Amino acid sequence: MRRFLSIFKKEMQNYFQTPSIYVMMAIFFVLTGYFYFSTMIYFSQLSGAAYQYMRYGQTPELNINQMILGNIFGNAAVIMLFVFPMLTMRLFAEEKKSGTVELLYTYPLKDWEIIAGKFASAIFIVLIILIISFFSILLTDYLYFTSQPEYTPNIFAYLFKHFPSVVEPGVILSGFLGLILLASAYISIGMFASSITENQIIAAVLTFGGLLLFYVIGFLGELQGGTLEKFLKEVSFANHFQDFSNGVIDLKNIVYFLIFSIFFQFITARSLESKRWRG
């Protein structure tokens, strides 16, 4: 455990001592921020129109949890796909290029300690990103709250007494759980890509290609139909993640992401070992 922690600590230090993580986070937040903003504008226009409908006795359905929160999670999932190669590309490729992998494998470390330590460090970055992302959910809730009659201009009173006023904790929980599971699948693929090459650019491109393929592979199924459709939908990220962003925690989806991550971490270990056999 102590060794696992020291690998974890080293990776964390490395993340924050090099600029790439800051660049990655900046891009992530600019993009999610932009999509959040556009969703909000769209929603406010819809609600304006809905107000008109209501005057004629119709009740259109507008659900903040589904339309805004669902969108926040869905957008985060897609943007992660673009920026995560930057997070994982260096994990093994850098060590192989600089030769430090030789140090790592001649220290008294087990393979799983190395892989789990690196994986945990990347997941930790994801947690930081998610915590910061929580701000947009808070803002949504606050904006809704300000339109209510019990509105108090005191922000602390809002935070401690009235939060959450419209967002449902269950949806937040399932969305964040889904994002963490999805991120662990992303990271596992990225780690595998990083373990088969010593070139970080190749690792990043392989990761991006792999992630995109697993994300969109279900779309092909819709055209084909039949068994192939079923199979491809089961393999794809998008379908399994969809439920989480809608606030549904399904054990099937959790198991899918866990098996996916474990499988790729397992072949990462095998790929590193085979490299040592071949020299």
Least CB distance to other proteins at residue 206 (A): 24
- Taking Cα atoms as reference points, which of 218, 210, 211 lies closest to residue 234? 218
- Cβ count within 10 A of residue 57: 6
Distance CA 209, CA 220 (A): 16
How wide is the angle at C-alpha 204 spanned by C-alphas 199 and 205, nearest 5°?
A: 100
Neighbours of 93 (CB within 10 A): 23
Q: Of 239, 269, 219, 257, whose CA–CA distance to 117 is shortest?
A: 269
Q: Shortest gap between Cβ of 2 and other proteins (angstroms)?
A: 6
Q: How far is the CB of 37 from other proteins (least distance, A)?
A: 36
> Which of 134-153 are b and which e, b meaning 16 or more Cβ less than 10 Å from the residue's Cβ?
eebbbebbbbebeeeeeeee
Q: Which is nearer to other proteins, 18 or 224 (CB)?
A: 18
Q: Based on CB atoms, which residue is closest to other proteins, 196 or 206?
A: 196
Of the candidates 12, 268, 266, 269, the residue with the CA atom closest to the CA atom of residue 117: 12
**Shortest distance, CB of residue 19 to other proteins, whole angstroms?**
11
Nearer to other proteins, 79 or 269 (CB): 269
Nearer to other proteins, 21 or 81 (CB): 21
- Of the pair 7, 86, the CB lying nearest other proteins is at 7
From 69, 176, 96, 70, select the one nearest 130 (Cα to Cα): 176
**Closer CB to other proteins, 230 or 270, in the complex:** 270
Task: Choose between 174 and 268: whose C-beta lies nearer to other proteins.
Answer: 268
C-beta of 162: minimal distance to other proteins in Å?
45
Tell me the C-alpha distance between 249 and 21, whole Å: 30
Which parts of this chain interact with other proteins (CB under 8 A)? Answer: 2-3, 5-7, 9-10, 13-14, 17-18, 98-103, 105-110, 276-279
CB of 21 to other proteins, least distance (A): 12
In the structure encoding, which two tokens stand for residue 128, read together? Answer: 């930081």
Q: How far is the CB of 186 from other proteins (least distance, A)?
A: 24
